[in-house]
Amino acid sequence: MSSQNGDLTARARIRDAAIELFAERGVGPATIRDIAERAGVSSGLLRHHFGSKDGLREACDEYAMAKMAELRERLLGPNGMMEPAVLAAMHPTAMLLQSYLVRSMMDGTSSVLFDSAMESGRTWLHNADFHPSDPEGYLAVLIAMKIGIFLMRDQISEVLGEDMMSPTGHRRMLRASIEIFSLPMLTPEQGERALKALDSLIPTEEQS
């Protein structure tokens, strides 16, 4: 996370280890014993500092959100320009935090990440000359798509033949995303036709 470890307090090492393991396995499957072991402390200390596993998760949420905001701000820099070198340096950390936040969200209860994504999506949509019918639904689906990429990291990596988080793998993923969002796979006519077909479908009875 930061340097290697060592100079960090035990509390910080636990937090970092938790973020790593939560990101790798998901919140449920990651056990406090494994987290403690990775941090090099006893599981009791984890409890001492964070009270419970859920307390630890909340602390991780808070830290990850704050850190992401900090990274974002630092990336844009004082002059608002994006420095490639800075981006490359913070990239691994950002990927890890992103993976963690996505995993944390999938566990249920809190949806801080999705909500904040919706919020920044609204301002983006507001500034763009781009007006989907049903903007809320549009944003929700769009965000779900972007998050899906991180959730499918293992599957995508297998197809790519390299880790999606590696520099080259990540570039291929970004390139694909850009192509998807700039080269429409449906022509406007096809899109129009699909929307018409969708409207013509009269949903009847519905139950499982």
153: which residues sit within 8 A by CB, 6+ positions away? 99, 164, 165
Between 110 and 168, CB nearer to DNA: 110
Kindly state the tokens that stand for 68.
Answer: 């992401």
13: which residues sit within 8 A by CB, 6+ positions away? 5, 39, 40, 41
Least CB distance from residue 152 to DNA, whole Å?
A: 24
27 contributes a contact to a copy of itself by CB under 8 A: no
Between 33 and 171, CB nearer to DNA: 33
Least CB distance from residue 51 to DNA, whole Å?
A: 7
Residues 139-158 that bind a copy of itself (CB under 8 A): 139-149, 151-152, 154-156, 158
Least CB distance from residue 192 to DNA, whole Å?
A: 48
CB 55 within 8 A of CB 47: no
Q: Residue holding tokens 């033949």?
A: 161
Residues 148, 165: Cα–Cα separation, whole Å: 14
Interface with a copy of itself (CB under 8 A), residue from 18, 35, 96, 101: 96
128 contributes a contact to a copy of itself by CB under 8 A: yes
Residues 159-178 that bind a copy of itself (CB under 8 A): 159-160, 166-168, 170-178
Identify what 87 binds: DNA, a copy of itself, none; CB under 5 to 8 Å per kind.
Answer: a copy of itself
Between 62 and 115, CB nearer to a copy of itself: 115
Residues 84, 207: Cα–Cα separation, whole Å: 52
CB 181 within 8 A of CB 193: no
Residues 62-91 that bind a copy of itself (CB under 8 A): 84-85, 87-89, 91
Element (H, E) at 115: helix 112-127
